[in-house]
Amino acid sequence: MHRLLCLFLAAAAASVSGLPRLDASPVGGPCIAPVQWEGRWVLYDHSTGRNGRAAVSYDGLNQRIRVLQQHKKHTPCQRFFEYIYLYQSMVMFQIDQKTKECSKMALTDAWDPFDIPDNSTFEDQYIIGGPGDNVEVQEWSDRKPARQHETWVGIYTLKDCYPVQETYARNSSVTTSTRFFNLQLGISDPNVFTPPSTCQAARPDRMAENAC
């Protein structure tokens, strides 16, 4: 699972609606999620009500993530950034997509992969969609008998263990949720994890999201 970035976030609740299976009981524990993929996500911050859409390259083998924010024509004052998270070096680069201005900041949270931890609790197995156009998923959480509420819920496809949605909560309130889509296995261009030359003179503070 991944407790990532209050930067981009997308709407969801603690489960995805679908048709429940009466025989849903996992065998052998959680599935193993892909360690390298590219795709898109939408992240939703429930405290601000903001959605963030981005293209994502995820490299779990080398503990790094690249996020390229999607431009929105109806937000003229919005600045759009590329983010490169290098957890083995514990640094994050924020690059202005237009000016290439760069900020370099230390990461404070440990690497938290997009996967289902072995000690997760199975919640449900169901179908998203309908007849002839559906996908079967499993829902897992970090709920434990001694704790009433879960703080993480992850939904992954049953067949290939692709992430579909992850939701985090704190103090019984949902904080962030992420939806994943259009995923493809592998990294087409490993150079996306290399900061541009402008980052050699990077500023130490985070750049503002609005230009006006």
pLDDT at res. 210: 78
Confidence of residue 19 (pLDDT cuts 50, 70, 90): very low
| Cβ-based neighbour number of residue 58 at 10 Å | 25
36-52 per-position pLDDT tens digit: 999 999 999 888 888 88
- For residue 42, the SS3 value is strand
The residues near 150 (Cβ < 8 Å, ≥ 6 apart) are 14, 121, 141, 142, 143, 169
Give the residue with greater pLDDT, 21 vs 168: 168
* Residue 20 confidence (pLDDT) above 70: no
CATH topology of domain 36-201: outer membrane lipoprotein receptor (LolB), chain A (2.50.20)
pTM, rounded to two decimals: 0.83
Contact assessment for residue 18 and residue 137, using Cβ atoms and an 8 Å cutoff:
yes
Listed by start position, the domains of the chain span 36-201
Least confident of 56-65, 115-124, 201-210: 201-210
- How far from the centroid of its chain's Cα atoms is residue 139's Cα? 16
> Which residue, among 84, 42, 88, 83, has the nearest Cα to 61 in the 3D structure?
88
- The better pLDDT of the pair 193, 18 is held by 193
CA-based max dimension of the chain? 58
Q: Record the tokens describing residue 177, joined without a space.
A: 């949720």
Q: Is the distance from CB of 69 to CB of 56 less than 8 angstroms? A: no
